[in-house]
């Protein structure tokens, strides 16, 4: 499995710059208002992050013959939902982290009330952005908004976070379910929205392959995060290492050895690659799955 001819870092950087420009424009156009709330939203949304979810939206749109213009509003909506989740994750009532991407968390830079409202507003703004996508059909926008709401809600990311906070995990199978909801769900939304940006008459076979790819890289992504929380350092990671141990949270390494976790991550990556490799021009998505195995933060 050799995809080394593709520079994923370069592709991610290019997509991140385009996404950043598009996100900035919403605020320049007044979508975020002009109070401290807008400042807090931009503080957490702009100027950092790999934009992997935005990249997935654009790549899946491209894979099925769509345009970047159609994909970008959905990519921005995903990044807004992701930023909201990070703001809330860092709050004292959740994971209680005071560092994010190498700078103070939103509630440390502003205060808890402003951070809470910034997260809330980014979430609602995401649906406005997705629904206002003028480069797609109304049917596409309807499918996108419905999918994003479902994957971010009680059956997806928010539900997974609730289970995670309960911290009553008894084994790896239960932990995997949490990761499927908390991490894989939003990645699945990104991949699916990319598909809808290109196609408003989806085929079940395509949706099945997209789901398999997204869930596999989502689970692998979370395993890698758990590994980095032990192996990495604060300067590299951009947030406090060892926070899971501090909060007495169960991670993959509570149930698997380091070697077993790395093997599980590799198997999930292979599963993701197999899910999309039959599609023409899927090399970038295959390479991304493999690259995620070696990321340092």
DSSP 52-82: HHHHHHHHHHHHTT--HHHHHHHHHHHHHHH
Beta bridge partners of 99: 104
Residues 215 and 220: their CA atoms lie apart, in Å, by: 9
Residue 2 domain-assigned? no
User: According to the model, what pLDDT value does residue 247 have?
Assistant: 59
Residue 1 domain-assigned? no
Number of domains the chain is built from: 1
User: According to the model, what pLDDT value does residue 230 have?
Assistant: 84
Rounded to an integer, what is the distance from CA 261 to the centroid of its chain?
A: 21
**Structural domain boundaries enclosing 50:** 8-294
Residue 59 domain-assigned? yes
Residues in CB range of 151: below 8 A, 6 or more apart: 157, 185, 186, 188, 189, 192
Residue 84 domain-assigned? yes
Residues 161 and 179: their CA atoms lie apart, in Å, by: 9
Maximum Cα–Cα distance across the chain: 51
Beta bridge partners of 104: 99
User: According to the model, what pLDDT value does residue 294 have?
Assistant: 83
Report which of 170, 172, 152 is spatially closest to residue 162, judged by C-alpha positions: 152
Where residue 42 sits, what CATH number does that domain have? 1.10.600.10
Report which of 197, 225, 246, 29 is spatially closest to residue 125, judged by C-alpha positions: 29
pLDDT along the chain (297 residues), means of 10: 63 95 96 95 90 97 97 98 95 89 91 96 98 98 98 96 89 93 95 98 98 96 90 58 62 92 95 96 95 82
Dihedral sign for Cα 144, 80, 220, 159, please: negative
Helix or strand holding residue 100 (H, E): strand 99-100
User: According to the model, what pLDDT value does residue 244 have?
Assistant: 60
* 153, 81 contact by CB (below 8 A): no
Burial of 256-277, coded b for 16+ CB within 10 Å and e otherwise, reads beeeebbebbeebbebbbbbbe
Residues in CB range of 271: below 8 A, 6 or more apart: 212, 216
39: tokens are 């400042």
66: tokens are 């769509």
pTM, entire model: 0.91
Residues in CB range of 38: below 8 A, 6 or more apart: 27, 32
User: According to the model, what pLDDT value does residue 3 have?
Assistant: 41
């Amino acid at each position: 499995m050799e995809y080394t001819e593709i520079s994923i870092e370069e592709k991610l950087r290019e997509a991140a710059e385009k996404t950043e420009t598009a996100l900035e424009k919403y605020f320049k156009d007044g979508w975020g208002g002009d109070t401290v709330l807008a400042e807090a939203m931009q503080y957490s949304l702009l100027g950092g992050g790999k934009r992997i979810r935005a990249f997935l939206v654009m790549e899946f749109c491209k894979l099925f013959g769509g345009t970047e213009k159609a994909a970008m509003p959905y990519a921005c909506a995903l990044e807004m939902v992701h930023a909201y989740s990070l703001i809330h994750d860092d709050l004292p009532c959740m994971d209680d982290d005071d560092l994010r991407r190498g700078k103070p968390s939103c509630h440390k830079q502003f205060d808890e009330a402003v951070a809470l409202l910034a997260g809330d507003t980014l979430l609602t703004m995401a649906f406005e952005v997705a629904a206002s996508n003028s480069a797609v059909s109304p049917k596409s926008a309807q499918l996108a908004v419905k999918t994003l709401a479902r994957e971010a809600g009680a059956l997806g990311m928010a539900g997974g976070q609730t289970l995670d906070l309960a911290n009553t995990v008894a084994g790896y199978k239960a932990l995997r379910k949490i990761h499927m909801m908390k991490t894989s769900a939003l990645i699945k939304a990104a991949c699916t929205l990319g598909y809808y940006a290109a196609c408003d008459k989806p085929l079940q076979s395509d949706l099945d392959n997209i789901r398999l790819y997204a869930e596999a890289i989502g689970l692998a992504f979370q395993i890698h995060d758990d590994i980095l929380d032990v192996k990495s350092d604060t300067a590299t990671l951009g947030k406090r290492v060892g926070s899971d141990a501090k909060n007495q949270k169960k991670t993959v390494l509570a149930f698997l050895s380091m070697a077993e976790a790395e093997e599980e991550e590799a198997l999930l990556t292979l599963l993701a690659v197999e899910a999309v490799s039959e599609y023409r021009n899927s090399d970038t998505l295959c390479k991304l799955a493999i690259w995620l195995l070696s990321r340092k933060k």
